[in-house]
Chains A and B, each alone.
Chain A
């Protein structure tokens, strides 16, 4: 990380591997390379370290190691959760593409619309749940807006429906799944307090390695494997264990949990500084997402009428890296379904930027980087204005 970019404002897309995490992982690529299923002592030792890392990892979400299924990232975890469901599913319209795509493979799906801040109403979800609904899936925090969802309230309506089914002796199961990847390091992800039956998280969002994730499932949830083979991960996810990945994931989650409160506070101060600077300099700016229930790291905004793709290309030359929801070539033509779902029009979406701060961000980076962003916005506004 000695060559970290100066103004990296896209932590929601990827985070750099923490050096301590890398150090923890390193021996498992080399001298501790053994297959955890092998019978001799050094391999058995590796197995024990793997299991211990899983236990540690599980404790960071208030669970047991034996309840975790290690996967190759959140997308796989989501697939595993959804493929275990036979009936109707209820998902948020602003869920990650992995959830929306997985829902398509279920028997049927209903899509709940959020309010214009991206927030879901537990009561609306309650009304969407049908007698044959088997899964409700809502992410803890939206990856574009940063809006944090009322998971406990949603869990309560799910439990209410389960209660009703029990009273009527209906046997259709109903589970509540959440992808909490985006909230890691900022929010409480304790499974009991969230009230979920299944939880997806991803190491890559928390300064851990890419292609490592997990699905936690409560003991009463029956998972059906997507990947079969040697029967690893209790037969739910076969394939030789990603020992280094899990060691890293575990370390990353412990570090994130330890610093969670301080980091969340630090990031919200930085984010608020950025937001005030932008609002002061650009009167036409629009800020999106729920201003009260929002990840500390996130700032979603737009300057309608400006071409955000041009901003991305302008800013990258100054070492400022940001994301946009615009349906531009840089996004392979895909317009943000999240911004659409909260009712934004094309002008707003095409002028949208998402800034997400993290460990690479300090006050100096925010003050300097935001100045570049303001200047770029003004240049583009002038350019558009001149033509009009």
Chain B
């Protein structure tokens, strides 16, 4: 899979080190494989939120601890402005439009595999590496060995050119193996908990995060069939298609969100879990991105959210748009989220649910 140590020693790899176990082991493995390795902490977000201290300084210190342990340099690349403009602002704007965006995908597309890659190359790197669970081969993106951890869903908007400059040393391992290998090497971060959810939102949750940036107005929750009000919501922005929890409606059968009208600030619900809007068979995608050339076949497998099982479907491309005809309906395909396409182990690209 990788070249001999002697060959590798000519390659200078800049590793994105977040202070977590995955990127720590990534750096350690590259060192062992003989690469010339420099660690880079990407300073993307440092803002505290109400009731939550942003752990960036601790994470940076942890990344540096591991760098010291591996006897490699650790540099800090500051992308705070770009991250705020391209990832956080995008997320807020999408929510305002009533959609459910995926900021991690945007972060990979704009920050890690564009800004970081360019800055690293300009600084003397030959390649970059990250702790993503994914594999590459000749500019192609392949699923990770660990089906449960596979992160290609988050990487589908990265370009083939960027992938040909990227190493994912963890792609061949499972998460438990990674923990074990980190422990075996005595890496400081071996026992550190994985971060949860969107990194800058952290534990406080998307609702509290958005409340900082968007004016929230309460409104009606209506039954989609009767169009009668069945309760109140504290801002339509917070509701996502298919959502059951968090609806403050007492008694009777549970309600599910089947739609919303941002202009009217109304959320529509149903008690019918089999409501057709919860189970689409056809999905319209926009902003299609292909890692290589647009796919010429028409049978693909799709993933509608991270970790969702692959679902067989038929694809028809119309320029930057595409239509997906699912063999079997999937529950709650949410506008703003991504649908990622696969052929066997290869991640082909994908698009955003209209």
Q: Which residues of chain B are near A328, meaning CB under 8 Å?
A: 61, 64
A317 touches B69 (CB 8 A): yes
Q: Is the CB of A332 within 8 A of B68?
A: no
B65 interfacial contact with A, CB 8 Å: yes
How many residues from A make CB contacts under 8 Å with B?
12
Chain B: minimal CB distance from A160 (Å): 46
Asked whether A310 lies within 8 Å of B57 as measured between CB atoms, the reply is: no
Give A221 to B253 CA distance when docked, in angstroms. 70
Is there a chain B Cβ closer than 8 Å to A388's Cβ? Answer: no
Query: Counting chain A CB atoms within 10 Å of each CB, which of B60, B64, B67, B68 scores highest?
Result: B68
Which residues of chain B are near A330, meaning CB under 8 Å? 61, 64
Partner pick for A383 among B60, B65, B69, B71, CB 8 A cutoff: B71
- The 8 A CB mask of B57-94 against A (1 = contact, 0 = none) is 11011001101110101000000000000000000000
CB distance from B106 to the nearest CB of A (A): 26
Partner of A313, one of B57, B58, B64, B73: B64
Contact string against B for A residues 337-363, beta-carbon threshold 8 Å, 1 for contact and 0 otherwise: 000000000000000000000000000
B29-82, CB < 8 A from A: 57-58, 60-61, 64-65, 67-69, 71, 73
Query: Mask for A287-315, Cβ within 8 A of B = 1, else 0?
Result: 00000000000000000000001100110
- In the docked arrangement, what's the CA distance between A317 and B57, Å? 20
Contact A329 B68 (CB under 8 A): no
Q: Which of A313, A333, A387 contacts B68 (CB 8 A)?
A: A313
Give A329 to B62 CA distance when docked, in angstroms.
Answer: 9
Q: Tell me if B69 and A329 are in contact (CB < 8 A).
A: no
A329-B57, A332-B57, A333-B57 as given contacts; A310 in contact with B64, CB under 8 Å: yes
Which of B58, B60, B64, B73 has the most C-beta atoms of chain A within 10 angstroms of its own C-beta? B64
- Known contacts A329-B57, A329-B60; is A313 also within 8 Å of B65 by CB? yes
Interface size for B (C-beta < 8 A) is 11
Mark contacts of A28-50 with chain B using CB atoms, 8 A cut-off: 1 yes-contact digit, 0 otherwise.
00000000000000000000000
A329 to B75, CA, bound (A): 12
Q: Which of the listed residues B61, B71, B73 has the most CB atoms from chain A within 10 Å of its own CB?
A: B61
Residues of A within 8 A of B64 (CB): 309-310, 313, 328-330
- Contact residues in B for A310 (Cβ distance below 8 Å): 64, 67-68
- B68 — which chain A residues lie within 8 A by C-beta? 310, 313-314
B198 to chain A, nearest CB (A): 22
Contact B71 A329 (CB under 8 A): no
Chain B nearest CB from A221 CB (Å) reads: 38
Q: In the complex, what residues of B have CB within 8 A of residue A329's CB? A: 57-58, 60-61, 64
Chain B residues within 8 Å of A317, by CB:
69
Expressed in whole angstroms, the minimum distance between the Cβ of B135 and any Cβ of chain A is: 32
In the bound assembly, the distance between CA atoms of A328 and B67 in angstroms comes to 14
Interface string of A351-388 (1 = CB under 8 A from B): 00000000000000000000000000000000100010
Nearest-neighbor residue (CB-CB) of B61 within chain A: A329
Q: How far is the CB of B115 from chain A (nearest CB, A)?
A: 21
Q: How far is the CA of A383 from the CA of B71 in the complex (A)?
A: 9
Give the docked Cα–Cα distance between A310 and B68 (Å). Answer: 6
Report B98 CB to chain A, min CB distance, Å: 39
Q: How far is the CA of A387 from the CA of B73 in the complex (A)?
A: 10
Question: Smallest distance from the beta carbon of A384 to chain B beta carbons, Å?
Answer: 10
What residues of chain A lie closer than 8 Å to B69, measured between beta carbons? 313, 317
| Interface set of B (CB-CB < 8 Å, partner A) | 57-58, 60-61, 64-65, 67-69, 71, 73
7 A–B contacts from the bound complex (CB under 8 Å): A309-B61, A309-B64, A313-B61, A313-B64, A317-B69, A329-B57, A329-B60
Known: A309-B61, A310-B68. 6 other contacts (CB 8 A): A310-B64, A313-B61, A313-B68, A317-B69, A329-B58, A330-B61
